[in-house]
Structure formats: structure tokens, C-alpha cells
Amino acid sequence: MITIELVNKRNMQGHAAYVISSVEDLPEKLFSQEEKAFILEQKAMKQKWVTINRFSHRDYIGFLSGEEEAKALEEYRTSGDELWLLLKKEKERGLSIIDCVGKEKPILALLEGYLLGSYTFGRYKVKEREEIKLPGDLEVVSNSVSEKELNLLKVVVKATMRARDLVNEPVQTLNATAFAEVFMQMATESGMEVEVFGKKKIEALRMGGLLGVNQGSPDDPTFTRLEWKPEKAVNTQPIVLVGKGVVYDTGGMNIKTGTYMEDMKSDMGGAAAMGCAIYAAALAKLPVHVIALLPATDNRVDGNAIVSGDILTMYSGATVEVINTDAEGRLILADALAYAKQYNPEVVIDAATLTGAAHRAIGKYATVGMQAKATNYFQQLSHSGDEVGERIVAFPLWDDYRDLLKSEIADIRNISTAPEGGAITAGKFLEYFTDYPYIHLDIAGPAFVTSRYSYRGVGGTGVGVRMLFHFLRHWK
């Protein structure tokens, strides 16, 4: 990650980005009236950044209104990403960002967009490796930004990038065991407690959903439990995060066709987000007690794989009729959600790349969210999503959908009897395994993008990490 230094007075020589709300904010000794007029002309042409070539270096001038509502903050992040792209295009090395606005949140948002926009997954590049090197160090010249807030920004950006790395890693190097090992390392780094269940322990716990999905895999499943419990936690009951960790999804016997399998290394985006969110909480020493449960396996095809019509006995003791093997994420989540009951949680939040229905409904622009017995927490989480640019669109969990999951031979079936409302019926299936305040986040749309989407880049976006970190930091 780019090295950042916060200073009150500029030390670095060379390229500079002046963040202003008006041309009058620019230092008179450095900018002539002709240059200010040129800057205003470019602004009128909707240019977010105006470049002045000094030959020895470039000055970049960007306008921020200084407003602090959620929409404005997202615009600043986008501006930060555009600044990054300018420097990358010009192959500039090193930059001073000079705060002439004097407001902390706008500057932090711009920095966030710049840093997140700089992400690249280049470990498998060989010939082009030199081309993807990052521009050099970043100096932030500001009297409004505090060291504390800048450090928290560094933490959440680092965690988001770790989540992106996990989502972008191919299954040949990131099976369920390797996935668990990554979080063992993160626990060592951050001071979290970690416990990883192997196949024998999972069998002893009778987690039939996780074991069933794993039947067609050459690799064993894992179930990772992470816990961050500071001495003076503000909550007496833990917040439990649950993430879907399907490290690759072929669809099983109901195999995916055409291009539907291309991005399925990303099907563990929910587990990556939840694991990296608690990692960020631990790195930042947030005073909240948090537990993360991350069931992981791939969903593949072989002679032992589950088929339509099979009955699985879950960790909860309930039986599930498997109608479609490509509705596998909810099976492993159901075991984790039932397992979460033992912690007497304040609220349980799951995240999963769960349904194509959610993706089709919302696209990459938001997360589909549902809640049961958790209205206030859902409102707080939605507010956090707005604040960080990871919006939630609320879908209902009406009981009308319950009948669509009735089975003639088991307690519940794993998909609906009707084609419509697929995102909601998936949520209703998961709700069946809960008896506590519960929030379900379907991140199928925003978790992985195939073309650059502002500071989210291409590939894994790490969606959910920043939202959950904000939620945990402002826990009420």
C-alpha cells in the first residue's frame, strides 16, 4: 500500500494536488491570475482536476464543495480515484495533497478514493509487472486531518484490499484450507482469537449443510471462528458476523452453463468481507465484542456430489430437501447461523454472494438487505452503508414467502417452488435457522465487477468491509 505521511507544512518537492473550494484558496505566490482564470474555465467544462504543467512538476487543482453529507462524500471518493488515474497515466512518482478546504471528512474521503483506486491485483503478472507499480509516497498537508482519523482510514483501506485479494485469488491457490490459513495469519497480526475446524470436527458437529456441499470436492471444508473481545467492550452480547465462503462454485450437479461460471472464484466474497471487517476492528482496537463465523468449501461435481432430491440433516437438526445444488451458499450459511445461537448474540449479520435475483434487481450499485427482529440495527447499518458509499436496498422478509419453501418430505426445501422473489426466498430460508435479531446482506451484485467502477477497480471490490467497520465503530 502507498505510504502516507501527515504534515502541517509541505516537505516533499515535486507534484502537488491542491484541494480547494474556490480559486481564492490557492496560494497567491504560486498561482497567477491567468492561471486562476484557466482553472475556472476548466471547472466550467466539468473537469474535476485541472493540470498545470510546471515542466519540473505538475500541479493538480481539484474542487471540493466542503459539504459533508453522504452523496458529497462519495463524490470526493470518486475525485480521489480520478486523481490517482491522472498520476498513473502520467507515471508520476510521489505527491503532496494540500488541503485548502480545511475540513476533515472531505479530505479523508478523497484520500480513501485515491488509495482504494490504487489497488491492483498483479501477483500473476509477469511481463507487465513493471507497468503496474504504484506511484510513490503520499504527503498530506493539512491542519484539519487528525493522525487518529488518518490511521483509522489506513486500517479500513488495508482490510478492504485484503478482502479484494482473497476474492481475486484463484481456487487453485485458495481452497478452503488455504482460506482459513489466511485468517490464522490475520489473527496473529491483529490480536484476534482464531479457531479452525477441520473436516473431522465439522462431522462431529453434524454440520450437514457444509458437509453436503463439500461432498463433490477433492478438498476438505473448514469452519473458521474469529473473535475480537476487548477488555472494555461496550456491548455485553457479541455482534456475530457470518460469511459465505464458497471458494469456487461450479453449481454442483446443477452445473452452471455458458459464462455463468467465469467469476465464481468470487463466491466467497461474503466470508472475505466478514473476516476482513473483524480484522479491521481488531487492528483499530475498536471497543466492541465481535465474532465472525466463516464456513468454507468449494462446490464441485464428482460421483459423490449431492444431487437433487437428497436430504441433508443440518447442524440445527432440521432437514433440508435439496432441489437445486446451485443453491449451495444458503446450506453452509444455515449451519453457521444455527451455530451462532450459542453466543446469545446482540445481532447476527450475514453477507453472501447469494442470488442472481439480487444481482438482477439492483446490479452492482447496492447490496440487497433484509432483517428480522433487527429494525434499529438495520437502520444503523444502512446509515453506515450510505456514509461509506456502500448502499443497502431493503427487501422484505414477509411471511407470505414462507409457503414457497415447504417440502413434502423434509422440514424445508433449499429453493422456492416459484421463480419470482428469489432473493427474498433465499433470505427466508436463512431466517428459518435463526431465532435472534438477524440481518441478511446479499452482495451478489457489488462484490465483483468486470469493468472499472470508480475506486472499486476491476474484480473483487471488498464490499461490506467499510460499511461494517463504520457500523462497528459507531456501535450504539
360 included as an active-site residue:
no
Which residues lie below 8 Å from residue 327, measured CB to CB, with a gap of 6+? 414, 415, 426
77 included as an active-site residue:
no
Distance between CA atoms of residues 122 and 119, nearest Å: 9
Which residues lie below 8 Å from residue 46, measured CB to CB, with a gap of 6+? none
Distance between CA atoms of residues 370 and 442, nearest Å: 9
Phi, psi of 303, deg, nearest 5: -65, -20
Catalytic residue among 58, 244, 330, 466: 330
Distance between CA atoms of residues 473 and 149, nearest Å: 12
- What residue type is 311 in one-letter code? I
Catalytic residue among 88, 256, 373, 391: 256
List the beta bridge partners of residue 438. 348, 372
Please choose, from the candidates 372, 365, 330, the residue with its C-alpha nearest in 3D space to the C-alpha of residue 349: 372
Q: Give exposure, 88-97, as e/b (b: 16+ Cβ within 10 Å).
A: beeebebbbb
Helix (H, G, I), strand (E, B) or coil at 15: coil
Check: CB of residue 322 under 8 Å from CB of residue 208: no
Distance between CA atoms of residues 373 and 470, nearest Å: 21
**Would you put residue 110 in left (φ > 0), alpha (ψ -120 to 50) or beta?**
alpha
List residues with catalytic annotation: 256, 330
